[in-house]
Amino acid sequence: MKRDTLSSTTIDSGQNPRVNAQQGEKESENQAIRKLLLGVQDALLTLDPRGTIIDVEADWDHLFGYSISHITGSHYEEFLFPEDRGWVKSGLDRAWDGEDFPMVVKIRPQDGGQAWVRVTGRQSIRDGQAVLLVLLRNISEERERELALLASEEKFRTLFMTSPDALYLLSEGDWVVLEINEGFTRVTGFGQEIIGHSTDSVNLWPDHVELYALRAEFVRERQFHNREIHWTSKEGRVIRGLMSMQSITLDGSRVAMCIVNDITPLLEMKKKLEHLLKAVEQSGEAFVITDERKSVIYCNTATETLTGYSREEIQGKDVFFFMTNLRDEEKMAAFSREVRKGRSWHGRVRLRTKPGVEIMVEATISPIFANDQIESFVCALKDISREMVAEERLRQSQKMEAIGTLAGGIAHDFNNILFPIMGYAELTLDDPLLPQQCYENVAAILEASKRARGLIQQILTFSRKGGVELAPIRMGSITKEAIKLVRASLPANVKIENLVSDVGYIMADVTQVHQVILNLCTNAWHAMSGEAGKITIELSEVEVDASFKWLHPQAILGTFVKLTVADTGNGMTSSVMSRIFEPYFSTKEPERGTGLGLAVVDGIIKEHGGFILVDSAPSEGTVFEAYFPLIEEEPLDYVKNPSGVYRFGMGTILVVDDEEVIANMISKVLTNLGFSAVTHTNPVKALEEFLENPERYDLLITDMTMPQMTGDALMEEVKRHRDIPVIIVTGYSEIMDQERAMQEGAAGFLQKPFTKSQLSRAIYQIMGRAVSPL
């Protein structure tokens, strides 16, 4: 049946072959048009004058999601956005009037969103009725690309104009400036006047070789990045920048986009930072930077020198690992309080170096903030060991000044008391009828007086008030005397081995050499820390030659008396040994020493033209060797006159001293020496008597400190009338010493209490008329 039906249909069609053929052609044409429209996503609408869609040729289900049945009979405005309906109606009205009306219109698809169509059409007649044939072409993808391009170009222009870098566009080939941004004007100073000109013509490039090399690279590669360039600004300022250049398409043309990052401020900042880093690196103060957890992230060379640690050993460590007393709670609390307030902490801290030595440093620790938060700390450390020594020296000098003032007053009064005791004792010993027992008693008084005089001299020397009196002395006798004093002060478990031999003379101050021996022996005793031990003292004559000096650079060539003091104490490390002669350096507890002993020893020996060596090792004891220059010949006075006392011939000497007992004693000594003495206790009256008969006197001996007139003033008045020799004597004077006395015209200077031999020798040197030694 199915076949018959089909045949029947075929037969029925064939009843009018021509009509059927025409309808077939029409149908085929319609199908071809429909396929063509669907292929390009076009649609053909037929609108009646009311705007109703009466026919549709399109696959709307595929294109916009609407069915043809839904579209047919609907008004066209149903598919438009409300804001577009007015101007679309105006366009369609012009089309009804026979005008062209090409438009781009947004369509509302069934599933939402929007689609873009291009609309064209014209009026037509259908079934005797005027209709409007409207052709729609879907251009959504094209439109989206156009909008994206517009947006991209707008974005590009916005970025181009607002970039902080210097941006400009060049036409490729002639290198004419097409556009510049504000960054270009800010960096170079050139504005819109540069547009239309080549950069060559505005002197932007001082080095055209650099410019042409960059152009050649661009032509070859079509791009380059981060090339360092040099520009000159409109004002003549040198600009250093990093240039990148890229070929792009703009408005259908190829242009070169240039980007220049001005690195001039960065380079200037880098240079400043390099200078700062160099300054910090070469600074004598140690600088340490830590993170917020106080771990070291940087330290300079001075830190390595100060601490003994290398940078590698310090970095990453807690900054307080070598600041010993910042570990205690009180210090840390003070530090934390200051830091919380955003302030720097300043104080003195003990720093333990890598060798284990503790030094005192002045530390300033400051917080570094970022966004109101502490991100790191900077620590400045300054070694104040020298300053502390200077402070200690100042305190010590102030003490010494006070002691010196007191010592000067004591010395003047005590010497004036001691002087007549010594003088009369010597006069008594000159009496040949003196009984032996009395002689021994008076000799003991004289010896005790001399030791008292030495004690005063030591006080003055200690307080830096006493002058150095160099004289030829036998080192052996001085050393033996010092050993007696040392032995009496040491405990019984410390043995002294005396290897002192008879050596030659040295030119020295007896008191200071005595002090050297005592200080070295005291130091040796302290080195034993209360344990049993032995101190060996030895004297010898040695020759210091070139080979010895090569081993000991501080040695001096020549012949010396060597004083050796060796102990069996604890010994020293090399680091301690290198500092023992520094003032105030001491390994003892503060109550056991000032750190001045060995510094004083070193100073005294150097003042005497010698040098000192030390050799020591831990647990092996210490050996000090003090070298004093040897006098090659014995002094003539000591050979010719062992007693040192000379008897003189005739002559009259004027003696002036406000202490009557002293004036009378000097007079008796002078009489004993064969002179005629005239004494006065009032210098004014003495001057009056001298002026009555100046020729009577051969010598003036005057005290320095007297109430009516000082000794130097009396000397000046006397010499104004007659130039006779003058000897100034004093118990102690702040304003007069031997050097100044000689400068003011004195022939001699004697420090009370002086002995008869010292007085006779002074007169002999001045008058030179000795007849016989006593």
Task: Identify whether 637 is part of a domain.
Answer: no
Are residues 606 and 568 both part of a single domain? yes
CATH of the domain at 695: 3.40.50.2300
Are residues 133 and 221 both part of a single domain? no
Q: Report the alpha-carbon distance of residue 448 to residue 445 in Å, rounded.
A: 5
Q: Which pLDDT score is estimated for 44?
A: 84
Q: Which residues contact 560 (CB under 8 A, 6 or more apart)?
A: 541, 542, 543, 544, 610, 627, 628, 629, 630
Q: Which of 614, 536, 544 is nearest to 581 (CA)?
A: 614
Give this prediction's pTM: 0.42
CATH of the domain at 494: 3.30.565.10
Are residues 669 and 761 both part of a single domain? yes
Residue at which a domain ends, from 138, 154, 188 = 138
Q: Report the alpha-carbon distance of residue 501 to residue 417 in Å, rounded.
A: 38
**Which DSSP category does 773 fall into?**
E
Are residues 609 and 494 both part of a single domain? yes
Spans in the chain with pLDDT lower than 70 = 1-41, 59-63, 146-153, 324-329, 331, 389-390, 392-393, 396-397, 399-400, 403-404, 407, 455, 457-469, 583-597, 633-650, 768-774
β-strand partners of 772: 647
Contact 104, 116 (CB under 8 A): yes
Q: What are phi and psi of 703, to 5 degrees?
A: -70, 155
On the 0-12 / 13-18 / 19+ scale of CB atoms within 10 A, 677 is: buried
Are residues 196 and 242 both part of a single domain? yes
**Collapsed DSSP state (helix, strand, coil) of residue 632:** coil
Query: Tokens for 262?
Result: 């001005």
Task: Identify whether 392 is part of a domain.
Answer: no
CATH of the domain at 193: 3.30.450.20
β-strand partners of 671: none
Q: Which of 313, 439, 433, 307 is nearest to 382 (CA)?
A: 307
β-strand partners of 45: 56, 134
Domain range spanning residue 223?
Answer: 145-267
Q: Which pLDDT score is estimated for 463?
A: 58
Are residues 88 and 186 both part of a single domain? no
Q: Which pLDDT score is estimated for 650?
A: 67
Q: Which pLDDT score is estimated for 397?
A: 63
Q: Which pLDDT score is estimated for 218?
A: 92
Are residues 476 and 619 both part of a single domain? yes
Are residues 741 and 706 both part of a single domain? yes
pLDDT in tens, 110-128: 788 888 888 887 888 888 8
Q: Pairing between strand 238-250 and 223-232?
A: antiparallel
Are residues 110 and 233 both part of a single domain? no
Are residues 481 and 596 both part of a single domain? yes
